[in-house]
Structure 1
Amino acid sequence: MKKWVLVLLGAVLLLSGCNRNEPINEHSQGIWNHYFVYPMSKLLLTLGHWFGDNYGIAIIVLTLIVRFCLLPLILKQFRASLAMQKLRPELLKLQEKYKSKDPETQRKLQQEMMQLYQKHGVNPASGCLPVLIQMPIFMALYYAISRTQEIKTHSFLWVELGHRDPYFILPVLAALTTFISLRLSPSMAEEQMPQMAMMLYIMPVMIFIGASSVPSALSLYWVVGGCFSIIQSLILRSQLKAAKAAENS
């Protein structure tokens, strides 16, 4: 549950543009700007020039490149989550066995949990590292799109990239792809579904509100990321189904 709360907070922060919004260039100061945002902006400008100053296509291509590059981390996180789910029944038994809250009992609980992890070759922290690596990259791409001035003067399909979508098509698509990708997420265990029901509906609403208040370039980025997440979730679900079939055979 905490993971999805963090995702929601991250999405709200990104789409609300709660950061410095001055133009990004080679003279921008600070480690974040120099090593994260500006390189993304430079890639975006290069792709834009390659595609005849079509920055809509540049945003789509760069977003897909970043998502494909991060796919191995997603798979690593998924496998770690799957391994933890398999251990969940045994972990619950240990927690029931050592349910007393005194320090000595809790120390024994931690010891047996670590032994269980070692026995099955599971690192409980391995699922967190991919998230920590992904977030700065996603944020750098987001702010590169937001702060690259050349984008704001170009159009793509029916929208001016520097202005909001007048027909709200991109915000609706952003919310819809977010809902579908969350609903299909293989990391959402069935027993968590009642707890996740509210998040499942609140997050798309927040995405819609955010995407309706930012330039279309950012809404386009969110839609492309959402579409990629849907395909990614379908692939992971098929892998999960295959793993369960192999386990039961």
Structure 2
Amino acid sequence: MKKTSLFIILIVITITLSGCGASQQPITADSQGIWNHFFVYPMSWIIITVADLLNGNFGLSIIVVTILIRVMLLPLMLKQQKSSRAMQALRPEIEALQKKYGQEEQKKDPKNVQKMQQELMALYQQNGVNPAAGCLPIFIQMPVLMAFYFAIMRTEEIAFHTFLWFDLGNPDPLFILPLIAGLTTFLQVKMTAHQLQGPMRMVMYIMPIMIIVAGITLPSALSLYWVVGNLFMIIQTYFTVVKSPYVTTEIGK
């Protein structure tokens, strides 16, 4: 499974769980379960602590903590992108091997499957590439991002505060935040669309729609989180992917 596909599937699962009302009970220090006690509650505590430092402004707290988490995860993101670039550089040679040991050749001699795998592994070793290296950062990032997501949903104090023109505990009455969240999601996915193959490119249009629909029905605090996270990722992608000479030709296709 492609790393990008896996990342998108996990995001869809998160949105689906929240929309179905999963795990919406208020999070406290007494909440039971490993996920609640060691993941969601610490994130909730950080949000509350930062809000206290900012004179009780939970909107600013969400912005600050979102940026801090993204900065902390940045080395993992860069490692993931480095792995993706390395795999892209080897793509012509990988495709040549796949063509050499195509289905017809595999039917003639089942051992050709093993030969192809051996040559692929030799190719990876010669170039110092680990095809599984790009997956590990995702599995580390996702629990952190999901815990923060659910912490925003389940921190009771957030619902009693306002930020700018909206109540953090209610949907944006003007739909401005959901629309911005959808637009920034589209821009973020479009900037990395070269990594999507075939039908997966439809994600570029499906994901923004899902975000907008979710933003219209869910608390504005979540839309605020999506907007800030998307803006950070857009800036990060611009400097680490779009401006990179290694992927310019891919993006231009």
Fold-level match, TM-score > 0.5? Answer: yes
Structure 2 counterpart of 1:224, from 221, 228, 243: 228
Matched to 1:14, the amino acid is: T
Structure 1 counterpart of 2:149, from 132, 142, 145: 142
Off by >3 Å, runs of 4+ in structure 1? 1-9, 192-197, 242-245
Matched to 2:131, the amino acid is: P
**Could you report, residue by residue, the CA deviation over 1:11-48 in whole angstroms, capped at 9, with x for unpaired residues?**
33333404211110110001101110010000000001
Deviation at 1:241, TM superposition (A): 2.0
Contact 2:191–2:242, Cα closer than 8 Å, also in 1: no
Cα RMSD for the two superposed structures: 1.9
Worse-superposed segment, 6-15 or 216-225: 6-15
Q: How many residues align?
A: 242
Change (3 A) 1:98 1:12: closer
Q: Is it true that 1:184 corresponds to 2:191 in the alignment?
A: yes
Unaligned runs of 5+ in 2: none
Q: Which residue of 2 aligns with 1:112?
A: 119
Matched to 2:155, the amino acid is: T
Deviation at 1:238, TM superposition (A): 4.7
Change (3 A) 1:213 1:5: farther
Change (3 A) 1:91 1:5: closer
Q: Which residue of 2 aligns with 1:15?
A: 15
Matched to 1:9, the amino acid is: I
Deviation at 1:139, TM superposition (A): 0.2
Residue pairs, 1:117-196, within 5 angstroms: 117-185=124-192, 188-189=194-195, 192=196, 195-196=199-200
Matched to 2:57, the amino acid is: N
**Could you report, residue by residue, the CA deviation over 1:84-114 in whole angstroms, capped at 9, with x for unpaired residues?**
0010100111111111335311011110000
Residue pairs, 1:51-130, within 5 angstroms: 51-99=54-102, 100-101=105-106, 102-130=109-137
Contact 2:27–2:36, Cα closer than 8 Å, also in 1: yes
Contact 2:85–2:247, Cα closer than 8 Å, also in 1: no
Deviation at 1:10, TM superposition (A): 2.8
Deviation at 1:239, TM superposition (A): 4.7
Unaligned runs of 5+ in 1: none
Q: Which residue of 1 aligns with 2:45?
A: 42
Contact 1:77–1:130, Cα closer than 8 Å, also in 2: yes
TM, length-normalised to structure 2 = 0.90
Contact 1:181–1:226, Cα closer than 8 Å, also in 2: yes
Matched to 1:96, the amino acid is: K
CA distance, structure 1, for counterparts of residue 187 and residue 248 of structure 2:
23
